[in-house]
Structures are given as C-alpha cells and as structure tokens.
C-alpha cells in the first residue's frame, strides 16, 4: 500500500469512527486515541478536566511511543475494521 493509499484509508477509518453514534468501549477509545495521536504526530497534552482520564490517555500514548506514524495509521485502520466487522 502506498503512502497516499494509507493516508486515504486512515482518513476513511477516522471518518467512520467520527460518524458512528453509539458509544465505544473505553479501552477501544484509548487505543484509537493513542494511534490517532501518533499517526497525526500530535503530541499535545491530554486535555480532559478529569485527571484520571488524562492519566489513562498519557499511558496509552506511552505504549505507542516506539512505533512509526505509518505503523500507527495501520494499527488504527486495523482496530476500526475489527470493531465494525463484529458489529454487523
């Protein structure tokens, strides 16, 4: 898959998640959050008003610190596909 194809597939996966109206499980959201932040090279501090949520988000980011942006996009896409595969 070329970089352009990966970017398009990643954006489609992000749109699919954003358009979904039912709640996602918290552990799934944390993994999506970490992969998204890594994939988009967005290293801003978590901004929840609840410190415990910021701690979980920080931990999720720490767990993906050693993968590339490209790998983060692939993992994000994979997670989204797996989640929606079993939701039909």
CA distances, 14 to each of 49, 51, 55, 83 (Å): 24, 26, 23, 13
Q: What is the DSSP letter of 68?
A: -
- Residues 45-87 pLDDT 10s: 777 778 888 888 888 889 999 999 999 999 999 999 999 997 7
For the cut 70, the answer to whether the pLDDT of residue 88 exceeds it is: no
- Residue ranges in the chain assigned as alpha helix (H): 3-19, 26-39, 51-63, 69-85
pLDDT at 76: 97
For the cut 80, the answer to whether the pLDDT of residue 44 exceeds it is: no
- pLDDT averaged over the chain? 90
Q: CB of 54 within 8 A of CB of 46?
A: yes
List the domains of the chain with CATH numbers: 3-85 (1.20.80.10)
For the cut 60, the answer to whether the pLDDT of residue 8 exceeds it is: yes
pLDDT at 58: 86
């Amino acid at each position: 898959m070329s970089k352009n194809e990966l970017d398009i597939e990643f954006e489609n996966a992000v749109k699919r998640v954003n358009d979904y109206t039912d709640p996602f499980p918290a552990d799934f959201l944390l993994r999506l959050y970490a992969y998204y932040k890594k994939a988009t090279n967005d290293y801003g501090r978590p901004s929840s008003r609840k410190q415990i949520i910021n701690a979980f988000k920080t931990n999720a980011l720490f767990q993906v610190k050693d993968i590339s942006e490209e790998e983060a996009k692939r993992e994000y896409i994979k997670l989204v596909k797996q989640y929606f595969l079993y939701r039909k």
